[in-house]
Copies of this chain bind each other. A is one copy, B any other.
Amino acid sequence: MPDGVFAVTVDLVLLTIRAGELMILLVRRGVPPYRGRWALPGGFVKVEEDLPAAAVRELTEETGVASTAAHLEQLGTYGAPRRDPRGRVVTVAYLALLPDLPRPVAGTDAAAAAWHPVASPPRLALDHARIAADGIERARAKLEYTTLATAFLDEPFTLGDLRRVYEAVWAESLHEGNFRRKVLSTPGFVEPTGQSARTDGRPAALYRRGGALRLHPAILRG
């Protein structure tokens, strides 16, 4: 290929919380290179397709979720000359956060897709370990100063649910009472529904996402 003309792909760092743990969706590669190795879901961008549209398409193909159900943002672009043995491939990585899905994984490309705990990932193809690590760190950082934690939850949710999101993503425990006060004192983080849900103890009030995007001040990790 001449200067400045390369293959362009989109890859997804797709995170959710299952069984109280932060998990990443990986697919097993069916073709060389790295056949049989786990990798991030992704594929080539189509000729008339915008980059976010390509990310949404891959998300839908891999998970069957409507794109509206998830948070999706550009993570970064990786284009080292020899990152892919097939030739020069530049990949635009997207980070997606979504609630635990009703069915584990659906869709056409997803025969060999599975959730893996981010704490003990398998070996990944290409430079996907680096991309995944960047995505996980981005998610961890953004929970501090944005309301993104709610993207991991179906509505309505309890403050306990929300706290367990933070605990799963950060792998540390938070003080229940202080956490609740912090969340409720941030206007627009969550909105009460008036409903409540049963738990193993006292029933908990149910909330929806509020309109706020940023947290001032932040919730800080330990």
Interface residues of A (CB under 8 A from B): 1-9, 43-51, 74, 76-81, 88, 90, 92, 145, 216-218, 220
Contacts and interface: CB of A to CB of B under 8 A. Distances in A.
A135 to B, nearest CB: 14
Given A6-B8, A8-B6, A77 B92 contact: yes
Given A77-B77, A77-B92, A4 B51 contact: no
8 contacts: A1-B5, A4-B46, A47-B88, A50-B80, A51-B90, A74-B76, A77-B77, A217-B218
The 10 tightest CB contacts between A and B, nearest first, are: A4-B44, A77-B77, A51-B79, A50-B80, A77-B92, A6-B8, A48-B81, A4-B7, A3-B44, A3-B46
A6 B3 contact: no
Contacts of A217: 217-218, 220
A6 B77 contact: no
Residue with the greatest number of chain B CB neighbours at <10 A, chosen from A74, A76, A217: A76
A47 to B, nearest CB: 6
Contacts of A80: 50-51
B88 A90 contact: no
A51 B217 CA distance: 35
Given A47-B81, A218-B218, A8 B74 contact: no
A217 B48 CA distance: 44
A92 B217 CA distance: 32
Contacts of A6: 5-6, 8, 45
A145 B216 CA distance: 12
A195 to B, nearest CB: 35
Contact of A90 (B3, B8, B46): B8
A113 to B, nearest CB: 21
Contacts of A145: 145
Contacts of A76: 74, 77
Contacts of A88: 47
Nearest to A90: B8
Contacts of A5: 1, 5-8
